[in-house]
Structure 1
Amino acid sequence: MEEMKDAPVPEGEEPKSTVQIVEEVLLKSVKQSTFLTNVGLQSSRNNSRKATTEVFAHVRDLEQKLQRSELQADLVQEELAAIKMKAEESEAARDKEL
């Protein structure tokens, strides 16, 4: 996993998140059991893999939403600071007039 995390990122692409790296490793390293197939039962492996993929996709979506929320919060903080500065300037100008 460390090798995948430290691997160079091709130009124009975003680096893989930790969740994506873990997903790839799990999908590659988990071996498929043939027990259920051998005893005549359908394996739930495909359902499990699908569920795992859906969970990771949901986690990625939530991470992106969190990142957007953090950026919006930063913008609001900057706007608030600018408004405070303008208020202080106008208050100082008013005090000078008095």
Structure 2
Amino acid sequence: KQTKFKDAPPTVIDIFKDTHCSSKSGFNEQATDAIAQMEAYVAEPTKEGQDPKTPVQAIAHVMPKSTFLSNVGMQSAAMKRNAKAAAMNDHVNELESELQADKKGSDGLRSQLADVQKQLEDQK
């Protein structure tokens, strides 16, 4: 029976909370800040077509140099490298879409310029 986690399997954030809470003093300031950042990261709205962010991704994002995920058996070194590659790929895709938007904008301006030049030639 899992009464501590309300009969649901704990997330990695729940495990982090459980392992970083002192029975006498509760959470220290660093743990409280990290938990708040993790929960905010998971709660962030996702862009269209993207999968929702997972608690494992939240911990890897908030504490990139931490060995917590490896210690609890949730992440291997290969997964961490793959996460970095995926983040880099997302950034490249974002930059490519910005470039495409800029190109479309410049094409529109070129078309307008050509129209104005044609009007000027027609007036001569």
Classify 1:87/1:60 alpha carbon distance in 2 versus 1 (closer, same or farther; 3 Å): same
Superposition TM-score, scaled by structure 2 size: 0.43
Work out the CA distance in 2 between the residues paired with 1:89 and 1:13: 48
The answer for unaligned runs of 5 or more in structure 2 is 1-43, 58-74
Given the alignment of the two structures, is residue 90 of structure 1 paired with residue 94 of structure 2, yes or no?
Answer: no
CA distance in 2: counterparts of 1:50 and 1:66, whole angstroms: 24
Q: Deviations over 1:5-27 (max 9, x none)?
A: xxxxxxx9343545xx3x96xx8
Question: Which stretches of structure 1, 4 residues or more, deviate above 6 A after TM superposition?
Answer: none
- Normalising by structure 1, report the TM-score: 0.54
Identical residues among aligned pairs (%):
5
Q: Which has the larger radius of gyration?
A: 1
Figure out how many residues of one structure are paired with residues of the other and give that number: 63
Written as runs of structure 1 = structure 2, the 5 A alignment for 1:1-98 is 13-18=45-50, 21=51, 46-94=76-124
- The structure in which a higher percent of residues are helix is 1
Tell me the C-alpha RMSD between the 2 structures.
Answer: 2.8
Q: Which has the higher contact order (CA 8 A, sep 6+)?
A: 1
